[in-house]
Structure 1
Amino acid sequence: MADAVYNRIPDIVESFIKQDNNEFELTTLTLIRLLEKKDPKIAAQLKKTLSDYHAGKNRVRETRAMSATESQLLTFVTPNKDLSRLIITTDVRSDIEEIIKSHKNKSALQKAGLNPITKVLFSGPSGTGKSSAAEVIATELELPLYRVNTAQLLSSYLGDTSKNVEAIITYVRTHQVVLLLDEFDSIGGNRNDATDVGEMRRIVNTLLQALDAWEDRGIFIATTNRLQDIDDALLRRFDLNIRFSNPDFQARYELWQMYLGEHVDNKKLEEIAKLIDNLSPADIEMLSQRALRQSILNDTALIPILVQFLRRPLEQAKPEKKFISRTLKKIDPTLTLSQISDLTGASTSSVSRYLHESY
């Protein structure tokens, strides 16, 4: 009996070194069976630890070592954004809060025969806050966040992609983690695509089976900016389909404040938020940081630099040139007629008329 137990020790050590979690658990189960008659107390302790691990008890660490395949497919991300720093439209914020609350009140839901929200699709243009929202969910729920290495997932070896998809889905649905899979349309495309050679059907079928067998522990967040390309059957498997868009006026103003509020008068930032309505949160962050960086490096005023960086967005802005001209003058009174003309595409005489006409 003792020899049988000792003989399992090398197996446990080897499975741990190889990060083969399935083998590690199987060996532990074998040990439990061997010890049940000889040392039932130790067997009971091992059984409870393994049971707690599977049940997701808080005292058991969920970020167990990943297998070699999982390590290639998943990258751990340290989430550093909480709900207070997520500036999005009111409707999207409400949806994100619902996801968080559903997990914080999991017991109450389960008493009513309901489960927390665990399968979510984020759709919308690039840079609108989809990945940031995933970070916020992980931060607020104090869960590990893993991002799928999409390039590695889409293996060059025909047939491997389905296996890879199954591996990551199995990991997240049995562990308390947040899994972020960007470009979901690349693996969840329509099975009726005439150009498909069969691999896409296998991948989608694998996803369907995995999502149907879902458990209420891990949170799977898929993102896409091509919602129309995703298979309809997959869309129906998600608990929520949250549609992100470019920020509204209030969100734009809060974003400009967050990045430049310590350096620019809020009245000017309010005018910028009114003027430029076609920027994503990522665009606003990039423009703010670039203008502030140049201002510091060149030891020059920030507003003139920022106004020049708004040139391209202004080309696609919806407001009339009269409104643009007047607003630019409010933001930077030092702008000349020629400079405003250059920014708006209006003639200097038109700009002069705009500035002197009564409201």
Structure 2
Amino acid sequence: MLEAKDPVVLDDAGRYDRDIVHLARVAMAGRSQDVQTLLQRMARRYQATNSSLAESLRELLRSAPSLDAPMRSHGNALPLPLDGDTRLPLIRADQLGPAQSPVLVDPVRGQLDQLREEHLNRERLARSGLMPSRSALFVGPPGVGKTLAARWIAAELRRPLLVLDLSSVMSSYLGRTGSNIRKVLDYAKSSPSVLLLDELDTVAKRRDDSAEVGELKRLVTVLLQEIDDWPASSLLLAATNHAELLDPAVWRRFDQVVDFPLPGPVQLREALIQYCGVDGSREVIDFLVKTLQGASFADAERLVLGARRRAALKDEKLFDVLLDLGRQRLREMEAPRRIQIALDLIEECSISQRRASEITGVSRDTIRRRLER
């Protein structure tokens, strides 16, 4: 117990007493992550008035044994939370392991690197009175890498990735949906983890939508409160394909908003090379990039996986199959677009007129006339 001469007691007794009561309350409730968060705040708060106490608290946090992941395979593992109606697990727990670095545009890559660095350098932030970002919202169309990015961050932080598909927790009894969400969030808070709330728009819809019933509107309020109370020891991620459906208050609750656009030619080329996994024809890759313009990473991966299966079954060369599939996509396009792709291969990719004609099926006479204009 601190003696009366302690400067914290003398200068700020009321605040110190409140902190002790608050610390005792969360400790008795078994909320270990909240205990750590409170100790971090106390260390920052008392730095100016009692630096030795602040440093002792920081040393305690540094030396404390780290908590195992929620789905740890040894010791007293906690069971996954279950839906009260179906008794099925409410979340999917991805085992910790290496994850391939996602192909991303530079602004998105910069934001994800920032998230990673903040959580890997918590002590450096603490010395400046700061905490890492607690939450981030991933926005973008399907297939642009939102889930893959969450998996990569979890692997980089060496934490489990807990995935909650919000559409799956919608109970037939609406009153239980809020209970389901609380179960998952409490479980994720129990030890350091990365929680991904997928399809956030399923629950966090605009509260001024007259088509939504009152219970769903109350769910939005529950979710906002949980995001506000999220501990900095874990990372809360949310993903949506329909940003326009989100309640305006949701945007303000997240520390970061990461906008995932459809990939451009540079990202598509990098992704195709990654998906193919072998050295191959550069001109085929260039051709596929042109035919996949406006497609997502998922579309490109689906094309390559289909080609690999066909090549294995028919004993064909992968890039011959990819070339054939690219031609099939090209035949579905209007003539002006097909001609433009042939011209782009010549002008941007240094492919000869003859080879461009062979790849695209556009006649050499047509290509020559367009080039002479």
2:289 match: secondary structure: helix
Residue in structure 1 matched with residue 307 of structure 2 by the alignment? 291
The one of 44, 60, 67 equivalent to 2:67 is 60
Q: How does 1:219-238 map to 2 (within 5 A)?
A: 219-238=235-254
User: 1:174–1:218: 8 Å Cα contact kept in structure 2?
Assistant: no
The one of 82, 101, 117 equivalent to 1:101 is 117
Change (3 A) 1:23 1:58: closer
Residue in structure 2 matched with residue 199 of structure 1 by the alignment? 215
What are the Cα deviations for residues 59-79 of structure 1, in whole angstroms up to 9, with x where unaligned? 432324136438721111125
Separation in 2, partners of 1:94, 1:195:
39
Residue in structure 1 matched with residue 92 of structure 2 by the alignment? 75
How many residues are paired up?
303
Separation in 2, partners of 1:352, 1:267:
18
Separation in 2, partners of 1:317, 1:263:
32
User: 2:353–2:367: 8 Å Cα contact kept in structure 1?
Assistant: no
Is the aligned partner of 1:137 residue 2:149? no
2:82 match: secondary structure: helix
The one of 176, 183, 194 equivalent to 2:192 is 176
How far 1:170 moved relative to its partner? 2.4
Which consecutive unaligned segments of at least 5 residues does structure 1 have?
1-21, 27-51, 342-347
Residue in structure 2 matched with residue 249 of structure 1 by the alignment? 265
Separation in 1, partners of 2:249, 2:335:
38
**RMSD, aligned α-carbons:** 3.4
Residue in structure 1 matched with residue 367 of structure 2 by the alignment? 355
User: 2:161–2:193: 8 Å Cα contact kept in structure 1?
Assistant: yes
Which consecutive unaligned segments of at least 5 residues does structure 2 have?
1-26, 32-58, 71-76
Separation in 1, partners of 2:138, 2:366:
43
Change (3 A) 1:295 1:209: same
What are the Cα deviations for residues 270-323 of structure 1, in whole angstroms up to 9, with x where unaligned? 343245321211111111111122122212243342233233477469984323
Change (3 A) 1:97 1:247: same
Separation in 2, partners of 1:67, 1:296:
39
Residue in structure 2 matched with residue 87 of structure 1 by the alignment? 103
TM-score scaled by length of structure 1: 0.74
Q: How does 1:1-359 map to 2 (within 5 A)?
A: 57-63=64-70, 64-66=77-79, 68-69=81-82, 72-82=89-99, 85-260=101-276, 262-310=278-326, 311-312=328-329, 315=332, 320-326=337-343, 330=351, 340=360, 351-357=363-369, 358=371
User: 1:278–1:313: 8 Å Cα contact kept in structure 2?
Assistant: no
One-letter amino acid of the counterpart of residue 167, structure 1:
K
Separation in 2, partners of 1:182, 1:107:
30
1:269 match: secondary structure: helix
User: 2:163–2:196: 8 Å Cα contact kept in structure 1?
Assistant: yes
Change (3 A) 1:177 1:274: same
Separation in 1, partners of 2:171, 2:157:
32
Separation in 2, partners of 1:148, 1:162:
13
Change (3 A) 1:148 1:261: closer
One-letter amino acid of the counterpart of residue 321, structure 1:
R
Change (3 A) 1:298 1:319: same
What are the Cα deviations for residues 75-123 of structure 1, in whole angstroms up to 9, with x where unaligned? 11125454x6311111111111010000011111122222112211111
